[in-house]
Amino acid sequence: MSTVVTRFAPSPTGELHLGHAFAALTAWHRARDAGGRFLLRLEDIDPTRCRPAFAAAIVADLTWLGLDWDGAVRVQSEHLDDYRAVLARLEARGLVYPCFCTRAEIARELAASAAAPHAPDGAALYPGTCRRLGPAERAARRAAGQSFALRLDMERALAALTEPLTWREEGEATLPCHPERFGDVVLARKDAPASYHLCVTHDDACQGVTLVTRGIDLKPATAVHRLLQALLGWPAPAYAHHRLLTDPAGRRLAKRDGAATLRSLRASGLTPAAVRALAGWPDAGSPAPAPP
């Protein structure tokens, strides 16, 4: 049987709270309980939101919590050339195009259109303005130094598939994928040379991840990830999307809502074992505490 490889892949945009601890412990247990490998990856490609101080705090908090990982921490911002190379492959196949639109222009266009469909993540679908630009116009705008994002041409990408797209979700029948619901997703941003969808699929493949455990909020995006894996010839990991921890009112824990950070729980005198238990993973043999 092949080795289970899981990962925890936080973005260093703030301090970790109990919801992150639950996600990290879930991935760690799935690997360790199967004698597999657990990886830590910092998804820090968004320069506007990520901070090195948060990255350092994540490593320190997970270590304090009692987690260990195999190999070095992968830091995405140190691998930008890898992502550029993947984009060049997709561009050479005509599957991505430059998008020069500003947010305001997209908003104006959407406001003027009769229907503005939304992706499963709530974002309005890109209306396709720059997909319709001719090669000369694209070249001229690039030559003039206009900044651009790179978008996946969803229609062409789907047409390039050689077999139906599905994904394996643990505990469920094989699921059909509908990446078209996301429209022409951004694969490289104007302010960052790659996007979440591209980096996460690239890294899961290059790190040999066999089981992606992550919050259920990211489940719909798996359709886009499976599409990229199929287009790029990368293996398909299994997926296990887990529940999100909530506060007593049933709201998802979020740093912006003042969810207790691991730092503050530690400062209040709690032990790592107590915090593991609060995060839904009591040590074997100890009773589960009341939920936080």
Is 34 near ligand GLU (CB under 6 A)? no
Query: Which region, left, alpha or beta, applies to residue 51 given φ > 0 means left and ψ of -120 to 50 means alpha?
Result: beta
CB nearer to ligand GLU: pick between 9 and 40: 9
d(CA 190, CA 185): 13
- Using CB under 6 A as the binding rule, whether residue 183 contacts ligand GLU is answered as no
Q: Is 97 helix (H, G, I), strand (E, B) or coil?
A: strand
Nearer CB in complex with ligand GLU: 46/153: 46
- CB nearer to ligand GLU: pick between 12 and 272: 12
CA-based torsion, 211, 216, 221, 227: positive or negative: positive
Binding of ligand GLU at residue 259 (CB under 6 A)?
Answer: no
- Phi/psi of residue 149, each to 5°? -95, 165
Whether 23 and 242 have beta carbons less than 8 Å apart is answered as yes
Of residues 90, 130, 200, 223, which one binds ligand GLU by CB under 6 A? 200
Q: Considering the rule CB under 6 A, would residue 11 count as an interface residue with ligand GLU?
A: yes
CA 272 to chain CA mean position, Å: 27
Q: Per rule CB under 6 A, is residue 214 in the interface with ligand GLU? A: yes
Tell me if 274 sits within 8 A of 268, measured CB to CB. Answer: no
Residue 41 CB, nearest approach to ligand GLU (Å):
8
Q: Does 9 bind ligand GLU (CB under 6 A)?
A: yes
CB 216 within 8 A of CB 241: yes
User: Which runs of consecutive H residues, i.e. helices, occur in 66-134?
Assistant: 80-92, 103-112
**Taking a C-beta distance cutoff of 8 angstroms, is the pair 259, 18 a contact?**
yes
**Under the criterion CB under 6 A, does residue 218 sit at the interface with ligand GLU?**
yes
Binding segment for ligand GLU among 8-16, 48-56, 57-65, 168-176 (CB under 6 A)?
A: 8-16
Nearer to ligand GLU, 85 or 254 (CB): 254
Task: Please tell me whether residue 46 binds ligand GLU under the rule CB under 6 A.
Answer: no
CB of 197 to ligand GLU, least distance (A): 9
Q: Residue written as tokens 């998802």?
A: 252
Assess 192 for contact with ligand GLU (CB under 6 A): no
CB 253 to ligand GLU: min, Å? 13
Q: Which stretch binds ligand GLU (CB under 6 A): 4-12, 115-123, 132-140, 185-193?
A: 4-12
Q: Is the dihedral of CA 47, 52, 55, 57 positive or negative?
A: negative
CB of 256 to ligand GLU, least distance (A): 14
Please, what is the angle between helix 196-206 and helix 80-92, to 10°? 100
- Enumerate binding residues for ligand GLU (CB under 6 A): 9-11, 43, 200, 214, 218
